[in-house]
Amino acid sequence: MAALAAAVVPLLRLLVLPLRAPLVLLLVAVAAYIGTSWRVLPGAGLLAVLGWFGSFDALQTLLVVVVCSMPLRLLRGVTGLMAASQVMTLVLTLLIVTVAAIYLLRLEVLSRVLILGSAVLLARVDLARIRVVPPPLQLSLGLSGLVLASCALGRWLISRG
C-alpha cells in the first residue's frame, strides 16, 4: 500500500500543477497557437510524424525553450569561452549578434520567438513561485515535451477544421 501511495502522490502533484501554476497553462495555450502556423510536410503515417518533429519549426521551438529554460548553464559556458581572451570575446559576440540578427530579421519569426520565449520564462517564474524547481536539464526536457505536445495539439486542431 505504501508503494502505491508513493507512486500516486507524485502523479497527483503533477496533475494539480496547472492549478498551482496557471502560467503553465498560458505556455500550453501559446504553444498550441504557434503550432497552428507550423508547416507540415505532405505524407501519412509514422514517417510524416517523424518528419514533423524534425522540421525547422520544431527545431526553432526547441532552441527557444532550451535557451529560456537553461540560461544560467548556457551563459556559464559562453562566459567561460569568452574569458579565454579578448579576441575570442569579440569574435564570439560578433558571431552571436550577426547570426541572431540574420535569423530573426530575414526569416520574420521575431514575434513567435519573443512570444514563446516570454511564455517559457513566465512559466519558469510561476514554477519557482510555488517552489517547483527541478534541475535545469530536467526542466528543459519537461518544458520541451510540453511545448512540442501543445504545438502538435494546435496543429491537429487546425487540420481538423
Q: Which of 23-32, 37-46, 103-112 has the lowest mean pLDDT?
A: 37-46
Ranges of beta strands (E only) in 21-152 are none
Spatial neighbors of 44 by CB under 8 A, at least 6 apart, are: none
> What confidence tier does 72 reach under pLDDT thresholds 50, 70, 90?
confident
> What confidence tier does 145 reach under pLDDT thresholds 50, 70, 90?
very high
Helix 110-129 to helix 23-35 angle (10° resolution) is 160
Residues 120-140: tens digit of each pLDDT:
999 999 998 898 888 888 999
Which of 142, 154, 153 minimizes the C-alpha distance to 24?
142
CA distance 41 to 29: 23
> What confidence tier does 12 reach under pLDDT thresholds 50, 70, 90?
confident
Range of the domain at 98: 23-160
Give the global pTM. 0.77
Q: Give a yes or no: residue 31 inside a domain.
A: yes
Q: Give a yes or no: residue 51 inside a domain.
A: yes
What is the total count of domains within the chain?
A: 1
Residues 20-36: tens digit of each pLDDT:
889 999 999 999 999 88
Is residue 156 within 8 A of residue 37, CB to CB? The reply is no
Q: Give a yes or no: residue 8 inside a domain.
A: no
CA distance 119 to 115: 6
Q: Give a yes or no: residue 18 inside a domain.
A: no
Portion of the chain with pLDDT greater than 70, in percent: 87
Most confident of 11-25, 45-59, 126-140: 126-140
Where helices occur in 70-109 by DSSP H, the ranges are 71-82, 86-106
Q: Give a yes or no: residue 14 inside a domain.
A: no
Q: Give a yes or no: residue 3 inside a domain.
A: no
Q: Which three cell numbers stand for residue 100?
A: 541572431
Average pLDDT of 64-84? 81
